[in-house]
Structures are given as structure tokens and as C-alpha cells.
Amino acid sequence: MTDTQIPAETATAPVYAVPQERQVVTAIPGPKSEQLHARRAKVVSAGVSSALPVYIERANGAILVDVDGNRFIDFGAGIGVTTVGHTEQHVVQAAADQLQDVIHTLFTITPYEEYVRVAELLAEHTPGNWEKKSVLVNSGAEAVENGVKIARKFTGRRAVAVLDHAYHGRTNLTMAMNYKAHPYATGYGPFAGDVYHAPSSYPYRDGLSGADAAARTIAYLEKVVGASDLACLVVEPIQGEGGFMVPADGYLNILQGWCTEHGVVMIADEIQSGMARTGRYFASEHFGWEPDVVLSAKGIAGGLPLAAVTGRAEIMDASQPGGLGGTFGGNPVACAAAIAVFESIERDHLLGEAERIGSTLTAGLERLKQRYDLIGEIRGTGAMVAIELVQPGTGDTTKVPNAEAVSALVAYAAQHGVLFLSAGTWGNVLRFLPGLAVSDALIEDGLRVLDDGFASLG
């Protein structure tokens, strides 16, 4: 789509405080970023790394501005967090207003309405037409931890199952739930027990139908764990860190059917895929999957830390009073921001925007795929799109992962004012998860840089 074809809805989009275009005025990173980086090296743990060490001073819409005045088109949105756009004005105002009223009381001491409202919105917008309840926490990993706790309490069972290529967090339990050991878990053991890793559906690499992939997953669970000991199966409907794998048709529903039959709680980790990212509130909806429990985080509060476990009322109510909580969980400012996010999704038709972004991105990537045989597969839904890169000439055969090309493209793009993120079990996936404020013009500009990047690989 060209600028002249922008539909009326986007033509009346808000005027941004920061020009929505990239601009590179120094080396990347620039001198001021270099200075900050030297300060940081003295006081910030070496265990905390930064993919692109340009220090950000301002962020607005789809643009990050660094301390040297460089403007980057942001295709990462802080890993899918600023889904409504950076410093989205409705969110900013709601949080600012809330800061004046109440910053903290602790909901488990003296409650407040904003927490209740977020739980109402989650009950309304998560899949499944039944009574639902929520607990609010601070981070994705904490939501996963609580989802498991709640499922164990409800079922009285011990075991937790996850899928290959999954990512669930950095706490002790969630490290044990991740597929990839390095860098997340290396040297940090011992890990939580009773976690089982079942084969997943990865159509590009396993070639299995949904039914066959589900049969393989279920056979593993029955053989290695046994349904009667299994509390929950935790699944990302579209895997995030693993590389945006979209499971084959029917896969998730067959697993849900098996879980229901055997009294296993099936939990959707929608932390990366949820909150309008894929063109639906939750990615599970694309598959007609209605999970027992849904985990939200990242995009839910426009950039403020908030996460939620939302599930069938009987599951959520199995916990004893006082069993769930935490000092900062459901902080009023984060809740006010989350309410504004839900309102912005409706007001700005963000589900449609995610679809628009998805079609512009995939059309552009299809054009690149015709010219660069490193692109093994383009996959994803809505504004959650990725390309998996393979070694030249292996796309139709062995599909040898090409992490070097991903690193080179990410580095090339950064030098030209575009922030792309990598992903994938082998680091060979380039993922696009921009804020939904990104215009088609900016996407096309980012794709031009990507094209030049591919050309530069030689």
C-alpha cells in the first residue's frame, strides 16, 4: 500500500510528538551511548546484556530516539510490550491521573476498583464463554508460576508439561520449563522438578499434520508422565522466543480435548501472543481454542509491568484465601494503564491494525523470499510475523539453521536505523512484532533496509 492509499481511519491517526521516520546522525552506537555504556559496565551486572546498546531517551509511536539523536523504527516494541505504540497518549494520561490518586495500597490489604476492572475486562476478552476469574501479578514469569500453582491446587497433582521450543521465563520454575538452556539456565541449577518437555507442532520442520503432531505429544505425555499425575499442560499458541511457530491445524484443540478428558488444566501462555498482537485479543482465538487458563503480560499495560492469570472460576477459586498475591501485583497505576490499553484497542481498531500490519509485512517478505533463498519460511499471524533463515540451498532439504545471517541482518539494520529482533531455538529467526501504531510507510521503509541487508550478505 502506498501513502496515497492510506484509508481514512489511519489518515486521522494521532499527530506524534516524535517524527515517525528513521534518522541516523552518528555512528551506531553514538558517542553519548558509548559513554553511558562505559558507566553501565561499572555498575550493571554483566549478566544483563543489551541487544543494541543505544541508550533511549524518548519513545513515541513506532520510533525510538537515542541520546545521540538517532531515530530507530522499532520492530520489537520491547518484545511485544508497547503494542498500543510507545507513550500512547491515552495510556500516558490514565497512568498520570492514577499517579495523582493512588500509587499503591496493596490489593490484599485495601483493594481498589482498577484491579477489579482489569479482571472484568480479562473475563470479557479472553476466549471461552464461561465464568472467569483472575489474579494480577507483575511479570510474565510470575503469571506462569501462578498458573502452575493454581493448576496444582485445583487438580491435586504434581506434574507440569510444556512443549519443545517453549519459553516461559527466568524464575527457577520457569527456567525448568524453557526449552533452551543457554543462556537462560546455564549454571543456575538445581531446577524445579516434575517438569516434562513434550514434542510440539513445528510444521516447517516436522511436516506433521495437527492430528499427527497432537498424537505424538499425547503419546509422550501418557508414556512419560501419565495423565493422572499431570496438573497442567502449558502451551504458547504461537511460540514466541522459540521462533513464532504456528502449530498445524487442529493441534491445540486435540490437546485441549485430551486435557479435558483427563482432568488436566490446559494453560495458554499468551504472554507474547496476546493483547491484540495477532489481530485478535488472544492468539488462541485463531485456532478456535478455548483454554482453561490464559496468561497475559507484556502488552497488557502499554509498557507498565502487569501480568494476569485468568481462568475458569472453579479452577481459580480452588486456591485458599491468602494463597495468591504479592506486594506489587495489580499495582493501581499499571491497572489504570491496562484499562486504557483495552479502551485504545477498541477506539483505535487495533485488531484491524494488527491485520493490516500482518498483510503489509508478509507481502513485503514474500517479495524478499522470491529473491533470497535463505528465507526458508515466513510465518505468523497479524503483527506477529517471522522469517526462519536457513543456509543457502538447504531450504527444500535439510533446512540447516542460519543464525549468522540473522545476526548480520540485525546488525545491518541497526546501523541504518531499524531495530529488528532475533528469535528461534537456533537463533535463526528474525521476528517482527512492532507496535500497532506503525504505518505501512514505515514498514515498507524497514523492509527496504532489510532488502539492502540481504543484498549486503553477498
Q: How far is the CB of 264 from ligand PLZ (least distance, A)?
A: 19
- Residue 52 within binding range of ligand PLZ, rule CB under 6 A: no
Q: How far is the CB of 103 from ligand PLZ (least distance, A)?
A: 21
Q: Contacts with ligand PLZ in 75-114 (CB under 6 A)?
A: 79
Residue of closest CB approach to ligand PLZ: 140
Q: How far is the CB of 166 from ligand PLZ (least distance, A)?
A: 8
Residue number, 61 or 80, with CB nearest to ligand PLZ: 80
- Residue 25 near residue 54, CB atoms below 8 Å: no
- Residue 125 within binding range of ligand PLZ, rule CB under 6 A: no
> Which span sits near ligand PLZ by CB under 6 A: 5-13, 86-94, 163-171, 392-400?
163-171
Cis peptide before 401 (omega within 30 of 0): no
| Grid coordinates belonging to 262 | 483427563
Compose the 253-282 pattern: x for residues touching ligand PLZ by CB under 6 A, - for all others. Answer: ----------------x-xx----------
- Residue 135 near residue 165, CB atoms below 8 Å: no
Cα 10 off chain centre by: 25
Residue number, 235 or 418, with CB nearest to ligand PLZ: 235
User: In this chain, which of 85, 147, 169, 303 binds ligand PLZ, going by CB under 6 A?
Assistant: 169
Instruction: Determine the size of the site formed for ligand PLZ (CB under 6 A).
Output: 16
CB environment 378-398: b (16+ within 10 A), e (fewer) = bbbbbbbbbbbbbbeeebeee
Cα 378 off chain centre by: 18
DSSP 237-264: SS-TTTT-PPPPTTHHHHHHHHHHHTTP
- Residue 436 within binding range of ligand PLZ, rule CB under 6 A: no
- Residue 388 within binding range of ligand PLZ, rule CB under 6 A: no
Q: How far is the CB of 294 from ligand PLZ (least distance, A)?
A: 12
| 279 vs 73: CA distance, rounded Å | 21
- Residue 138 near residue 306, CB atoms below 8 Å: yes
| Grid coordinates belonging to 242 | 522459540
- Residue 20 within binding range of ligand PLZ, rule CB under 6 A: no
> Which span sits near ligand PLZ by CB under 6 A: 146-154, 166-174, 187-195, 221-229?
166-174
* Start-to-end CA span in the chain (Å): 29
| 82 vs 11: CA distance, rounded Å | 21
Residue number, 240 or 364, with CB nearest to ligand PLZ: 240
> Which span sits near ligand PLZ by CB under 6 A: 22-30, 133-141, 223-231, 378-386?
133-141
* Cα–Cα distance list, 122 to 83, 112, 119 (Å): 17, 17, 5
User: In this chain, which of 118, 121, 141, 449 binds ligand PLZ, going by CB under 6 A?
Assistant: 141
Q: How far is the CB of 298 from ligand PLZ (least distance, A)?
A: 6
Q: How far is the CB of 10 from ligand PLZ (least distance, A)?
A: 28
Q: How far is the CB of 307 from ligand PLZ (least distance, A)?
A: 6
Compose the 213-252 pattern: x for residues touching ligand PLZ by CB under 6 A, - for all others. Answer: -----------------------x---xx-----------
User: In this chain, which of 22, 149, 165, 168 binds ligand PLZ, going by CB under 6 A?
Assistant: 168
- Residue 332 near residue 104, CB atoms below 8 Å: yes
- Residue 380 within binding range of ligand PLZ, rule CB under 6 A: no
Compose the 177-216 pattern: x for residues touching ligand PLZ by CB under 6 A, - for all others. Answer: ----------------------------------------
| 405 vs 457: CA distance, rounded Å | 7
| 248 vs 250: CA distance, rounded Å | 6
- Residue 170 within binding range of ligand PLZ, rule CB under 6 A: yes
- Residue 183 near residue 170, CB atoms below 8 Å: no
| 454 vs 441: CA distance, rounded Å | 20
- Residue 354 within binding range of ligand PLZ, rule CB under 6 A: no
Residue number, 175 or 336, with CB nearest to ligand PLZ: 175
| 389 vs 387: CA distance, rounded Å | 6
* Cα–Cα distance list, 323 to 140, 153, 187, 193, 326 (Å): 19, 10, 31, 21, 10
Question: Half-sphere exposure (CA, 13 Å, Cβ side) for 11?
Answer: 7
Query: Would strands 63-66 and 56-60 be described as parallel, antiparallel, or unpaired?
Result: antiparallel
Q: How far is the CB of 391 from ligand PLZ (least distance, A)?
A: 26
Q: Contacts with ligand PLZ in 287-306 (CB under 6 A)?
A: 297
User: In this chain, which of 118, 144, 218, 293 binds ligand PLZ, going by CB under 6 A?
Assistant: 144
Q: Which residues bind ligand PLZ (CB under 6 A)?
A: 79, 139-141, 144, 167-170, 236, 240-241, 269, 271-272, 297
